[in-house]
Amino acid sequence: MGNERVKTGAPRSVAMLIQSFFPAVGGAERQALELSRSLAARGVAVTVLTMRLPGTPAEETVDGVRVLRLRCPGPGYMRTFLFMAGAFFHLMRRKGGYEVVHVHLASSHAVAALLASRFTGSRTFVKLADGKAQNEITLSRATLPGRLKLAFFKKANPSLMVLNTEVLDWLREQPGFGGLRLIPFRNGVDTSRYSPPLYQEKLNAKAALGLGNSRVFLFVGRLDPKKRVRELVELWAGIVSEKGAAAEARLVVVGTGGEAAAVRKTVDALGLADSVSLAGMKEDLRPYYRAADVFILPSIAEGLSNSMLEAMSCGLAVLASRVGGAREAVAEGENGFLFDPLNRGELKAHIMRFIAEPSLSVRMGERSREVAVSRYSMARVTDDLLDIYAGAGPGD
């Protein structure tokens, strides 16, 4: 694709609006950083507006991306309100300074951006996250502030960027949303940074993490009930009880979150310390991708998992629940398998097959890499994003 901008009508300046950003670690944060880097490499002036975390500077430049961190003291709703207000006044002060405002997640700061756009003339795009079963719209309907936000969205008529066809089709049927501009989009991955290891490099990566020569099944993500990691650990107890499986397979869980204590308690209660590794939060995930053979995503709701794309780019086969963007990224029997997240027997059968047929994950992993490069590379996604900004829609 090259580094020069090739899209006619592409903006010269973009404001990325996100509550939490680098050095915070998470899928949304990583995606916002990678997109911003890629746009900056095309000659677009990118400014990220975000909350200021303790110990971070109010302003800095990260890989050519200007980062402005707004001070938002206080708990809960106070921080949210201050960020919303700070973002609104910044955009108003910079009237004409940003051709495009790209909002990550349809939270309260999206209201600030849409309101400011009425006065500044900036084109505003709001990226939705999560899947049909649980997303920003369904969650917002449960609270009065959320319902007020949704009412404003319907009047503001924003351009909503949607990560998978499941949510796209669902939104078209929702009262007040079917008439909005709904734009298919997808997350991207830096396929040069996340690349498959050679055979000996994979063995070395396993050894470095103390995994021996086991078949390694990897989960990376937030430990949240909707991710169903605790249920995965319970299922794993049945797998390791099978003859020989305990010695041949390991489950590695990377991440933290509200359910971390419950997951650890389950591991201890089931005596799985020797076969389940809880690695906690890691800033650099590549050593884990390089050591793993199969990536597992057992969520009941997903938009398009950033970690899954990174795993695919690193040449891992994928076992993903049949929801959200995984239904488009995983070709059944080619680069992985899909399963019903509530059907433990289905998932167990797939895992046991990967253990019994070591060559299966190798073959599927090669196909995963091909899919990641051809459909989800950050260069390809950036091309499509510039088309969206210009009003041409995403590329084929």
pLDDT in tens, 238-292: 998 876 555 689 999 999 999 999 999 999 999 999 999 999 999 899 999 999 9
Residues 350, 217 share a domain = yes
The residue behind tokens 């308690």 is 265
Residues 211, 175 share a domain = no
Collect all residues with Cβ–Cβ distance below 8 Å to 44 and sequence separation of at least 6. 5, 10, 11, 12, 13, 14
| pLDDT at position 6 | 46
| pLDDT at position 251 | 97
Alpha carbons within 13 A on the beta-carbon side of 308: 29
Residues 210, 180 share a domain = no
Query: Does 57 fall in a domain?
Result: yes
For the ranges 123-127, 132-136, 263-267, 301-305, the one whose mean pLDDT is highest: 263-267
Integer Cα distance of 287 and 269 in angstroms:
28
Averaged pLDDT, 92-111: 91
Residues 58, 180 share a domain = yes
Residue 8 pLDDT grade (very low, low, confident, very high; cuts 50, 70, 90): low
Query: Does 5 fall in a domain?
Result: no
Integer Cα distance of 36 and 44 in angstroms:
9
Residues 183, 58 share a domain = yes
Residues 158, 134 share a domain = yes
Least confidently predicted of 151-165, 331-345, 382-396: 382-396
Query: Does 395 fall in a domain?
Result: no
**Tens-digit pLDDT profile for residues 331-372:** 999 999 999 999 999 999 999 999 999 999 999 999 999 999
Residues 112, 208 share a domain = no
Q: Helix (H, G, I), strand (E, B), or coil: what is residue 194?
A: coil
Averaged pLDDT, 57-80: 93
Mean of per-residue pLDDT scores for the chain: 90
Does 149 score more than 80 pLDDT?
yes
Integer Cα distance of 70 and 57 in angstroms:
10
CA separation, residue 75 to residues 147, 148, 211 (Å): 22, 21, 41
Residues 164, 18 share a domain = yes
Integer Cα distance of 395 and 239 in angstroms:
43
For the ranges 72-76, 166-170, 306-310, the one whose mean pLDDT is highest: 306-310
Determine the structural domain holding residue 248 and report its residue range: 199-375
Q: Helix (H, G, I), strand (E, B), or coil: what is residue 291?
A: helix
Contact 100, 389 (CB under 8 A): yes
| pLDDT at position 396 | 37
CATH number at residue 96: 3.40.50.2000
Residue 137 pLDDT grade (very low, low, confident, very high; cuts 50, 70, 90): confident
Helix, strand, coil abundance in the chain, percent, nearest 5: 45, 20, 35
Residues 170, 87 share a domain = yes
How many structural domains comprise the chain? 2
Residues 212, 166 share a domain = no
Higher-confidence position of 246 and 54: 54
Query: Does 289 fall in a domain?
Result: yes
Q: Helix (H, G, I), strand (E, B), or coil: what is residue 381?
A: helix
Residues 259, 310 share a domain = yes
Least confidently predicted of 26-30, 60-64, 306-310: 26-30
Residue 108 pLDDT grade (very low, low, confident, very high; cuts 50, 70, 90): confident
Query: Does 54 fall in a domain?
Result: yes
Query: Does 345 fall in a domain?
Result: yes
Query: Does 110 fall in a domain?
Result: yes
| pLDDT at position 1 | 40
CA torsion sign for 81, 87, 91, 93 is positive
**Tens-digit pLDDT profile for residues 196-219:** 999 999 999 999 999 998 999 999
Does 69 score more than 50 pLDDT?
yes
Query: Does 70 fall in a domain?
Result: yes
Residues 226, 158 share a domain = no
